[in-house]
Amino acid sequence: MNKAELIEKIEFMGLREAGKSGPLYRKLASILQSMIKQGILMPDASLPPERDLAEALGVGRVTVRNAYKELMAKGHVVSRHGSGTFIANHASRISQPLWRLTSFSENMLAHGKDARTEILSQNIGMANDDEAEKLSLSKDCQVLRLDRLRFADNAAVAIEKAVIPLEYIGNAPDHDQSLYALLAKRGFRPVRALQRLTAVVLDAGQAKLLNSRKGAPALFIERIARLKDQRSVEYTRSLYRGDAFDFVAELKIGDHDV
C-alpha cells in the first residue's frame, strides 16, 4: 500500500469523525491497529516517517509519534534503527515438545517451515570456567562458540548461543547447516539432554534482532546435551520469542501413585 492509499484509507475509517472521543493520536493508533488486524497493512510493511504522515494528514508530528508509540507498546509495530517503523511480523505459534530431543532445524521441518540461520558470531578458543564446568572439560580444551539468529520461514524467532567441544564438531558449520546433523555425521549425535526454562523479557538489543519490542516476553532455555556414554557434547543458551513458541510437556502419573 502506497502513502496516498494509506492516507485515503485512514480518512475513510473516520479519523476526524466528531462522534469519536479521545485524543487524536489514539484515534489514529486505533485505525492503524484495525488495518493491521484486518490484513490491510501486512507484516513487515513500512509505515511513512512521522513527518511525512503528519503533513499528509494535516496533523501535528507529535500526534503521529504518539500513535506509533502506542502501537509499539502493544507490539503491533517495531522500530528499526535507521530504517523506520514497520508492521510487526508475528510468527505463527510453533509447538515444541520437551520430551523429544530435536534440533531447531528438525522442529521447523516437522512444522512445514523453512529453517534459516544468520550467524552472528563464531570463534574457537579455550573453554572458560563456566563452559568447562557445564561441559565437564579441562580448561585446556578448545571449544567452538557459535551465536546464531534462527528464522522460521522469514520471521526471526530465536537467538542461540552454542558451545561445542572442538573434538566433536571439527569445523564450524556452514551458514544454514544443522549442528546436530554435523555432530551426527561425525558420530557424536546427542541422545539425551537436561533443559532449564526461565521466563524473561527482551532487552533492547535482543528485541532489535528478533523484530520485537523491548520488554516483550521471551523464554530462556539452557540446554546441556550428552552422548550415550554421558559425555557432554553441547551447551546452548537460547532465547525464544514468547509469541512464537509453545513448549509442551507430556506428564504421566508415577507407578507408585497408580
257 within domain boundaries: no
Residue 12 has pLDDT above 90, yes or no: no
Whether residues 214 and 98 fall in one domain: yes
Is the distance from CB of 186 to CB of 202 less than 8 angstroms?
no
Whether residues 109 and 220 fall in one domain: yes
Whether residues 180 and 146 fall in one domain: yes
Mean pLDDT of 211-219: 86
Please say which residue of 87, 115, 147 terminates a domain: 87
User: For position 20, what pLDDT does the model report?
Assistant: 62
Whether residues 177 and 133 fall in one domain: yes
Whether residues 15 and 122 fall in one domain: no
59 within domain boundaries: yes
Please say which residue of 87, 119, 141 terminates a domain: 87
Whether residues 80 and 150 fall in one domain: no
Backbone angles phi, psi at 244, to 5 degrees: -115, -25
Task: Give pLDDT tens digits for 232-245.
Answer: 999 999 999 888 87
Closest CA to 153 of 45, 44, 49: 44
CATH number at residue 135: 3.40.1410.10
User: For position 3, what pLDDT does the model report?
Assistant: 81
Whether residues 26 and 149 fall in one domain: no
Closest CA to 67 of 59, 245, 180: 59
Whether residues 14 and 105 fall in one domain: no
187 within domain boundaries: yes
User: For position 148, what pLDDT does the model report?
Assistant: 94
Task: Give pLDDT tens digits for 129-181.
Answer: 999 999 999 878 999 999 999 988 778 889 999 999 999 988 777 666 788 88
82 within domain boundaries: yes
CATH number at residue 49: 1.10.10.10
Residue 258 has pLDDT above 50, yes or no: no
How many whole angstroms separate alpha carbon 193 and alpha carbon 100? Answer: 9
Task: Give pLDDT tens digits for 88-127.
Answer: 876 566 777 777 788 888 878 777 778 888 999 999 999 9
Whether residues 232 and 159 fall in one domain: yes
Averaged pLDDT of the chain: 86
105 within domain boundaries: yes
pTM of the model: 0.65
258 within domain boundaries: no
Domain that holds residue 227: 94-248
Whether residues 48 and 100 fall in one domain: no
**In the chain, where does DSSP find H-type helix?**
3-12, 24-37, 50-57, 61-73, 104-110, 129-135, 166-169, 179-185, 204-209
Number of domains in the chain: 2
180 within domain boundaries: yes
Whether residues 173 and 234 fall in one domain: yes
Please say which residue of 59, 87, 115 terminates a domain: 87
Is the distance from CB of 141 to CB of 165 less than 8 angstroms?
yes
256 within domain boundaries: no
Whether residues 27 and 58 fall in one domain: yes
